[in-house]
Structure 1
Amino acid sequence: MTGLIILAAGSSSRLGTPKQNLIYKGQTLLQRAIQTGLTSVCSDNVVVILGANESAIRQEISDQLVHVVYNPDWQEGMASSIRLGAAEMIRMQPLLTSVILMLCDQPFVDPLLIYQLTEKRVESDHGIVACSYRGTLGVPVLFDASYFHQLLMLQGKEGAKKLIKAFPNDVATVAFPLGAIDIDTLDDYEVLKDK
């Protein structure tokens, strides 16, 4: 059983407006991410972590059938949201065998990619399955239950990349060229709108 944690607590400081609420193809980026989760193999185990701009973002997803958690420590950085998401997922589903970390600003993540991550875990017997794009490995990324302790120990700005780099021999990959497209600036958003 795999859980999906959608990390959406950041303040979008470089953008100047909550990226979670940017519209792409008729939905906000966070609504798209949630729909991907709810139509994926993780559909029964989706947790969304909110932080900055919580009330403005929460009202846009109030009709979504997902478990939403507020991270009061969001200013610490990504690690606080990963810790909270992992702890909440383990609390909700003690028999969980893995979790996938996903961001809301990679609009081309789809249910097939989520499935490919879980399948690669079964086929390869690696404890970490990361997406590869533009010469790097990153999110979405699956962590086997044997890494839950490490997820719960992350600090500050640390994210999934720290564990991917720390355990290179236990990492399998899934090619996801469109993973390079994420939304950090208004220029990124303008480019996305043309796709």
Structure 2
Amino acid sequence: MNQRRPVVVVLAAGRGQRFRGEGHKLEQVLGEDTVLAHTLRQALGSGLSMLVVTSSALAPMVRRHVASRDMLVLPDQDRLGRPAPLGMGHSIAAGVAATGDAPGWLILPADMPMLRSSTLQAVAQALENDPIAYAQYRGRRGHPVAFSAELFSELAALQGDEGARRLLARYPAQAVEVDDPGVLIDVDTVEDLQRLRADPSQPRPSDLGIRTN
């Protein structure tokens, strides 16, 4: 693992319940590849270390793009045989705990296919000066959101669908203005996918804040 730069934790374990189309949202075709493939390509292109947190159901799709050493497959059940949680907070905590010796983490949802490698690099660099940094496009906050190693304990304690929004309220955060509308574009619904296929350069009008929970 690269000890000098933060790790990109790609969140690819969610069920995608808001997507009412056929199949999972991450396997939908966009251009010549899938939503997931586009996101992973940009993460790999950043030159940063990467860990993809995924579920057993989505693991075969992830393995087509990354090595097993760069994956963390969450269990389907806990130690008592109960269904394991798959919320964003749980995925963040698992990814951070698995890379605990990293100097920081960039949290990147896997359904953001238009985000650029250069944005990941810019946010990673900003993390050298503040405990939290996030990408911003024309004054509108987006992903990735980055956290320094000093926040390890709080990140590793996240559970269920609890995200990291409360950390943004408690610690100084640096906005990194980038010329990249992809920081605001995700694929949550069939309508999002259709809009992106029609005009991949435009975020939704409703994309006004960081999706951290």
Residue 163 of structure 1: how far off its partner (Å): 1.4
Letter in 2 for 1:60: M
What is the match of residue 175 of structure 2?
173
Partner of 2:94: 84
| Residue correspondence of structure 1 range 81-120 to structure 2 within 5 A | 81-90=91-100, 94=101, 96-120=102-126
Whether the 8 Å CA contact 1:129–1:172 is kept in 2: the answer is yes
Q: TM-score, normalised by structure 2?
A: 0.77
Which moves more between the two structures, 5-14 or 68-77?
A: 68-77
Unaligned runs of 5+ in 2: 77-83, 200-213
TM-score with structure 1 length normalisation? 0.84
**Aligned equivalents of 1:112, 1:76: Cα separation in 2:** 29
Q: Percent identity?
A: 26
What SS class does the counterpart of residue 60 from structure 1 fall into? Answer: helix
The residue correspondences of 1:1-195 to structure 2 (distance < 5 A) are 1-16=5-20, 17-42=23-48, 45-51=49-55, 54-55=56-57, 57-66=58-67, 67-72=70-75, 75-90=85-100, 94=101, 96-122=102-128, 125-133=129-137, 137-167=141-171, 170-175=172-177, 176-195=180-199
Query: How far apart are residue 35 of structure 1 and its match?
Result: 1.3
Deviating 4+ runs (over 4 angstroms): 133-136
After superposition, the C-alpha distances for 1:76-132 in whole angstroms (9 at most, x for unaligned) are 511110111001112xxx2x211111011112211100111022223xx11100123
TM-aligned CA distance change 1:62 to 1:117, over 3 Å: same
AA matched with 1:34:
L
Q: Which runs of 5+ in 1 are unaligned?
A: none
Q: Distance in 1 between matches of 2:113 and 2:137?
A: 14
Which structure shows the higher helix fraction?
1
Aligned CA RMSD, in angstroms, stands at 2.0
